[in-house]
Structures are given as C-alpha cells and as structure tokens.
Structure 1
C-alpha cells in the first residue's frame, strides 16, 4: 500500500484524502504548527487519516519509517514544510531551495524578471522605519497596490493613489501581526497598479510539463471604498484560441517559479502590454472551485493533481476540455447588520434552480455582517454549472436575491 503525507490538509487540501483512500492509498496528516487558526484546523477530518503528526513534536524520524510515496501541500501554510519533507524523505517534489518563489510575493516577481518575463516592478518593506525614505521615491501621479508578503486571498491588500496615500496605507498596515493563515506578516510589498481583466490559471506540473486544468476570469467591482470586492468567477475553455497568449505566459511563469510537481494556482492580469502574473501558489485553487471544476472540466484539477503526486503518466492532452459552464458568485454586504439565514421555503426553491450546485455562508445567524471590502470580508458565496451561459446569468440574479437579498 502506498503512503502519502498531506501537510496541512485544510481548505481544499481536505479534498485529497477521501479520493486517495478510495484508491487504496494510506493518508497521513502532518500539521505544520499548533498555532494555525481554528478556522483552518477545523477542516481536519481525523477519520480520513491513518495517523496525524504535529511538526511541533519533531516527528521526522517517525515519518522516515513510513516509506512515503509522496508529500502533498494542502494549502498555503504547507509550502515550506512540504518542500523540506520531500527532500528529507527522498521523494519527487519541488526544491526547498526555491520555496520562496512559491510563497513570497516579492521573490515571485524577481524570478519572473530574471527570466525576462513580464512582471510587476516591486519594492518590499520589512519595517515601518523604512516608510519615510521609501515614500519619497514614489511618483505622486501613479496608483499603487500595497499587500502583505505572505498573506492569502486579498487580505490586507490596499489600493492607494500617490505617495501620501501609500504612506497612510503603510502606517496603518498590520505590521508584525498574524494574518488569516495564522502567520506573522513578514513585511509589505508595494507595486504600481496594473489594470486589466483578472484571470486565474490552474495548472498541474508533471515533472516540469504543465497541464492546464482550468482558466477562469474574475469580475471585481469598486464598492465600499475598495477596488478588491469579488463579484463572480467564471470558468472558461482552456482550448479557446483567444486564451492562448495567456496560457503560453502562464506556462513560462510556472517554469520560472521552479514548480516540478503538483498544482499551481496563478493569478494573472491581462494588461495592455499583455498577461502579467500577480502571484502564484503551489497548491490547489481554494474554496469550492476544485469541486465545481469536477463538473466543468475533463480531466479535472483534483484528479490531475493526485496523478502528478503519485508519479502517474501525464494525460495526452495539454489542456483540459470544458464540458460545461461554471460560475462562483460572491455575496456582498454593504452595511453592518444582523445576519438571518433564509427560511426553509427559500432553500427549497433555490434547490429547484437548474444551475444551482450549492451555497455557503462564512457567518452564522445572529452574527453582524462585516462591510465587504475583500474576500476576507465576503459573507458567503454560491456556485453554479450549466451548459448555457444564459442560464447562469438568470440563476445568478435569482440566487443573489433569494440567498442574500
């Protein structure tokens, strides 16, 4: 029986073990730190694992005795430990020497630059003491984005116009505070704002060959004083000729990040100058996307990722085929109010919608809704799939009214 370690099997990382168990693979969980936030660790389904180790207990010798076949990164917090264990246990994976390229936003951009690829000029600040001298170098006519070096989603991302606004954003930033991943912010990166539609390309590496598993396009809106409010995410056909420049760039960028095995989640702006990577991660697309992709693409992201980690042959196709249309819609709260769940009659009506797959709230009845300014303050979402885009549009309008109001 093959044995696989899954480091931090949280978020979409929790999807691996049921599928692997069904394939006769023994799964072992390795939790990178006992300091991880409870909203992560509550995803741990103990029954899915033959054993659970905590890295705080220094279990390397015990792990070496397991004859491990592969080490899988469950989520963002797993990247460094996954690469270390891959090398320590002598299995195929990504190099620990280049882990920063798959986790640190500044290192990612430098890697693109060194390979002659389109990138975002970036500056990094590790201490508030650097703020005055840095702000003095900025062009007052430019727009900038400020974000933590090691956060996830859009937590802590701020848009600023001119040096004075950048100074305010940096002064107010969460220096040395824990982010939603439970990690201490290592500093902040400041970049010129790049405009254009935003895409997500999910790939899976088979020893350095990149299979395109999905391509999606975000719709973000300017609302509640923020430029980073998610409205929807639509799946696209990776085989569309119109997307070829995006896909070609994504493959080159993934190679620059030294990704050899497993999934790559890459966010890209298609600017006037062409596609340019915002950031990337060596893990599955988060949220419910991998489950939606199982209904939309063949082969799908999750099955491709498992095949890659287990050393199976890559598929003959370079891109997955789209067999349906998919969408994730995000709820938005414009005010602080008490959240009340929809009545049963509404839920029964929603379930009859031909495109409806499911919905999820990130808050519970009685909670006060936060004002939505980014994904971290998004109160919930729903997901759909249907052969016809017109049905997705109609269902989106109906479900927003019924499930959020």
Structure 2
C-alpha cells in the first residue's frame, strides 16, 4: 500500500486525505510545530490518518521506514518542512534552497526581478530601526501598501497615502508579534500600490511544467471609506484567448519561484503595464474554492495536485476545460450591529436557489459585526455554480437578500 505524508493538513489541505484514502492510499499527518494556533489544529480530522505526528528531528528515523510516495504541503505553514523532508527523504518535490521564494513576500519579488519579470519594487524592514530611512525614500503623493513578510491573506496589510501614513502604519505594525498562522512576524515590506483588476491563477507543476487549473477575477467596490471591499470572485475559462498574457506571465513567475511539484496559488494585478504578481503560495487555493472548482473545471485543481504529487503522467498544457460557471460572493456590513443568523425559512429559501452551493459566516450569533473595509473584515460568503453566467447574477441578488439582508 502506498503511503503519503501530509504536512499541516489544515485549511484546504484537509481535502487531500479523503481523496487519497478513497484511492487506497494510506495517509500520515505531521504537524510542523506545536506553536500552531487552535483554529488551525482544530481543523485536523484524525480519522483520515493512519498516524498523526508532531515534528521533531528524531521523527525522521520513523519516516525513513515508511517508503513514502509523496510529501504534501497542506497549507502555508507547511512549506519549509515539506521542502526539507522531500529533500532528506529523496522524494520529488521543491528544493528547500528556494523555499523562501514561496513564503517570504520580499524574496518572491526579488526572484521576479532576477528572472527578469514584472515585479513590485519593495522596501524591506526587519526592525523599526529602518523606518526613518525607508520613509525618506518615498513619494509624498503616492499610495503604498505595508504588509508583513510572512502573514497569510490580508492580515496586517495596510494601505497608506504618502510618507506620513506609511510611517504611522510601520510604527503601529505588529513587530515581533505572532500572526494568524502562529508564526512571529519576520518584518514588513513597503510597496507602491499597483492599480488594476485583481486575478487569481491556480497552477499545478508537473516536473516544472505548469498546468493552469483555474483563473478567477475579483470584483472590488468602493464602500465604507475603502476602495478595496471584496464583492465577488468569479471563475473564468483558462483557455480564453484574452487571458493568455496573464497565464503566460503566471507560468513564468511560477518558474522564477522554483516550483517543480504540486499546486501554486498566485495573486496577480493586471495593471496598465501588464500583469504583475502580488504574491504567491505553494499550496492549494484556500477557503471553499477547491470544492467549487470541482464543479466548474475538468480536470480540477485537487485532482491535478494529487496527480502531480504522486508522479502520475502530466496532462496536456491546455487540458483544463471550464464546464460551468462559478462565483464566490462576499457579504458586506455597512455598520456595526449584533449579528443574528437568518430565519430557518430564509435559509431554506436560499438553499432552494438553483445555483446555491453553500454559505458560511465568519462570525457567530451575538457577535458585533465589524464594518467591512477589506477581506479581513468580511463577515461571511456564499458560493454558486450554474451553466448560465446570467443565473449567477440573479442568484447573487437572491442570496444577499435572504442570507444577509
């Protein structure tokens, strides 16, 4: 029986084991560190695994006896250990020499620059001591983004206008504090804000050849004093001719980051000058997206990722077809109030919608809702699938009314 090790099988990483078990493949879990927060470790579904270990160096002796077929990165926190183990165990994977390129937001921009590919000029700060030096170099009239080096999603990201706001953001930043992943912030970067529509490209690497598994586009609106309120994420056809400059760039960027095996999740702004990568992660798209993709694309992201890790034959570059239309819609709160779930009748009515796939709230009944200004303050979402793109618009309005109001 084949055995596969999954490092940190949390977030969408928990989707791998059931599929592997169904194929008769035994799964082992390794938790990368005891410092992971509970909201991660509570995601562990122990019955999907033959054994669950917490990483320590002596565990290597046990792992060497298992004749592992693959080591899979479950989520962001797994990148370094996954690369380390594949190298020591002699399993095809991504080199630990390039691990930083898939986790550190400054290093990945430097990799694009060296390739050379379109990149975002970034100022790196590893301590508060450089704040005055960096701020002095900035344009007083420009808009900047201040973000942690090793956080996930939009945690700790601040948009700042001119030198004064950048300085305030840096002095108020969470220096040497633990982030949502349970890791200590390694520092911060300051980047000029790049305007343009935002896309997400998910790829799977087969020995350094990149299969485009999905392309999505965010719709953002100006609301609640913010220009960056997320309204929806729509799936697109990866083979669409008009998207080729985007997908060509994404493949080149993936090569610059040293991705050889497994999935890579890449966020890209299509600016007036062309596509430019914001950041990337060597793991599956987070949230519910991989489940939605199973209904929208064939073959889908999850199945391609497993084929890659297990060394199965590489599909043709244009193998992925869009077989339906999908959307993730984000709820928005315009004022603080006490959250209560909709009535059972409203939820039942929403579930009867022909495009409805599911919904999720990020807050609990009785919680005070934050005013939505970015993804981090989004109170929940829903997801839809339909053969008709028009139906998605109709269902979106229906579900916003029934599930949020």
Shared fold by TM > 0.5? yes
CA contact (8 A) 1:239 1:319 kept: no
In structure 2, how many angstroms separate the alpha carbons of the residues matched to 1:125 and 1:94?
27
In structure 1, how many angstroms separate the alpha carbons of the residues matched to 2:89 and 2:314?
23
The 5 Å alignment of 1:266-281 reads 266-281=266-281
In structure 1, how many angstroms separate the alpha carbons of the residues matched to 2:354 and 2:105?
40
In structure 2, how many angstroms separate the alpha carbons of the residues matched to 1:360 and 1:57?
39
The 5 Å alignment of 1:212-223 reads 212-223=212-223
CA contact (8 A) 1:238 1:319 kept: no
Query: Corresponding residue for 2:44?
Result: 44
Query: Corresponding residue for 1:89?
Result: 89
Q: Structure 1 stretch 32-41 or stretch 99-108: which is displaced more?
A: 32-41
After TM superposition, the score normalised by the length of structure 2 is: 0.98
The 5 Å alignment of 1:23-62 reads 23-56=23-56, 58-62=58-62
Name the SS for the 1:369 alignment partner. coil
Residues 1:282 and 1:68: Cα distance change in structure 2 (over 3 Å): same
In structure 2, how many angstroms separate the alpha carbons of the residues matched to 1:218 and 1:43?
27
How big is the shift at 1:336? 2.3
The 5 Å alignment of 1:127-142 reads 127-142=127-142
**Structure 2 residue 351 is the aligned partner of structure 1 residue 351:** yes
How big is the shift at 1:202? 0.3
In structure 1, how many angstroms separate the alpha carbons of the residues matched to 2:155 and 2:226?
12
Cα displacement string for residues 214-263 of structure 1 (whole angstroms, at most 9, x for unaligned residues): 00001122333333322110000011100000010000000000000000
How big is the shift at 1:334? 2.4
In structure 1, how many angstroms separate the alpha carbons of the residues matched to 2:317 and 2:386?
24
The 5 Å alignment of 1:57-76 reads 58-76=58-76
How big is the shift at 1:342? 1.0
CA contact (8 A) 2:12 2:285 kept: yes
Q: Structure 1 stretch 70-79 or stretch 376-385: which is displaced more?
A: 376-385
The 5 Å alignment of 1:280-291 reads 280-291=280-291
**Structure 2 residue 19 is the aligned partner of structure 1 residue 14:** no
> Which runs of no fewer than 5 residues in structure 1 stay unpaired?
none
Query: Corresponding residue for 2:151?
Result: 151
Query: Corresponding residue for 2:224?
Result: 224
In structure 2, how many angstroms separate the alpha carbons of the residues matched to 1:36 and 1:221?
34
Matched length? 405
Residues 1:128 and 1:306: Cα distance change in structure 2 (over 3 Å): same
CA contact (8 A) 1:159 1:226 kept: no
RMSD across aligned C-alpha pairs, in angstroms? 1.1
Cα displacement string for residues 116-142 of structure 1 (whole angstroms, at most 9, x for unaligned residues): 101111111011111112111111121
Name the SS for the 2:72 alignment partner. strand
Name the SS for the 1:213 alignment partner. strand
Cα displacement string for residues 13-67 of structure 1 (whole angstroms, at most 9, x for unaligned residues): 0000000000011000010111111111111000000000001474221111111
Query: Corresponding residue for 2:205?
Result: 205
Cα displacement string for residues 76-134 of structure 1 (whole angstroms, at most 9, x for unaligned residues): 00000000011111100000000000000000000000011011111110111111121
In structure 2, how many angstroms separate the alpha carbons of the residues matched to 1:79 and 1:374?
26
Query: Corresponding residue for 2:193?
Result: 193
In structure 2, how many angstroms separate the alpha carbons of the residues matched to 1:48 and 1:195?
43
CA contact (8 A) 1:203 1:264 kept: yes
Name the SS for the 1:72 alignment partner. strand
Name the SS for the 1:396 alignment partner. helix
Query: Corresponding residue for 2:326?
Result: 326
CA contact (8 A) 1:356 1:385 kept: yes
In structure 2, how many angstroms separate the alpha carbons of the residues matched to 1:389 and 1:105?
35
How big is the shift at 1:362? 1.3
In structure 2, how many angstroms separate the alpha carbons of the residues matched to 1:91 and 1:117?
30
CA contact (8 A) 1:155 1:374 kept: no
Q: Structure 1 stretch 289-298 or stretch 220-229: which is displaced more?
A: 220-229
In structure 2, how many angstroms separate the alpha carbons of the residues matched to 1:156 and 1:221?
20
The 5 Å alignment of 1:352-367 reads 352-367=352-367
The 5 Å alignment of 1:251-400 reads 251-400=251-400
> Which runs of no fewer than 5 residues in structure 2 stay unpaired?
none
In structure 2, how many angstroms separate the alpha carbons of the residues matched to 1:227 and 1:67?
51
CA contact (8 A) 1:159 1:227 kept: no
Query: Corresponding residue for 1:123?
Result: 123
The 5 Å alignment of 1:229-244 reads 229-244=229-244
After TM superposition, the score normalised by the length of structure 1 is: 0.98
CA contact (8 A) 1:34 1:56 kept: no
Name the SS for the 1:133 alignment partner. helix
How big is the shift at 1:317? 4.3
